[in-house]
């Protein structure tokens, strides 16, 4: 008898839980979407693996895809992915710095993110000629000008850049999807590029840029 009563109690609790789920499902879904950028919404996963591949056409595809999300959804996405509880947090931080510079117009100009010493070392005055360093442009095509950063201490959190973007306008154009190899040739033969690096690093970094433009 006690077993039968127990089964009835379990059934009643289950039924009551289903009723609550049906009643509250829509509001809960809305809250999740507003606060965490729900998985049902678009995610920054076009068929590319940038920045891990350092391919310019993949960086362009990535940026163009995110731009179409619009400012509100895009910034909500960045805030979600930069949450320290997110498993992508540590690998996405530098990427977010790059994306903010690619997709938002800072009226006062973007300073280079404070992520450590550029690798390879770059000449300070020449570096200022590349307005979105460590990204450089040629014929409108973006290229990553360094391999990475040698971090000493704590780097600048990307969430600072995201906060700034709340005040900025997104770009209103797509980056070029063709002509990347020609753009890379022009970049590596430019005077600014030739003076950006030490002589011992120039050959290797030139090959790095040209490789980015390959399909």
Non-local CB neighbours of 165 within 8 Å, separated by 6+ positions: 71, 75, 100, 103, 104
Average pLDDT over residues 70-81: 86
For residue 83, pLDDT over 80 is answered with no
The answer to whether the beta carbons of residues 197 and 123 sit under 8 Å apart is yes
Average pLDDT over residues 104-109: 95
Distance of CA 27 to the CA centre of its chain: 30
Q: What is the mean pLDDT of the chain?
A: 77
pTM: 0.74
pLDDT in tens, 135-191: 999 999 999 999 987 865 557 788 889 999 999 999 999 999 999 999 999 999 999
The answer to whether the beta carbons of residues 28 and 148 sit under 8 Å apart is no
């Amino acid at each position: 008898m006690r077993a039968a009563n127990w089964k009835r109690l379990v059934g009643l609790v289950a039924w009551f839980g289903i009723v609550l789920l049906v009643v509250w499902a829509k509001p809960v879904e809305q809250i999740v979407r507003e606060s965490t950028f729900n998985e049902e919404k678009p995610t920054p996963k076009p068929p590319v693996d940038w920045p891990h591949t350092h391919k310019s056409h993949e960086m362009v595809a990535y940026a163009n895809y995110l731009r179409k999300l619009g400012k509100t959804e895009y910034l909500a996405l960045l805030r979600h992915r930069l949450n320290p509880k997110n498993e992508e947090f540590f690998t996405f931080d530098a990427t977010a710095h790059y994306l903010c510079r690619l997709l938002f117009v800072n009226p006062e100009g973007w300073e280079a993110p404070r992520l450590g010493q550029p690798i390879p070392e770059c000449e300070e005055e020449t570096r200022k000629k590349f307005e979105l360093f460590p990204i450089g442009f040629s014929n409108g095509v973006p290229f990553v000008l360094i391999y990475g950063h040698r971090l000493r201490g704590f780097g600048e959190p990307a969430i600072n850049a995201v906060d700034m973007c709340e005040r900025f306008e997104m770009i209103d154009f797509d980056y070029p999807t063709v002509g990347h190899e020609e753009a890379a040739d022009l970049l590596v033969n430019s005077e600014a590029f030739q003076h950006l690096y030490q002589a011992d690093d120039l050959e290797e970094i030139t090959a790095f840029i040209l490789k980015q433009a390959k399909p």
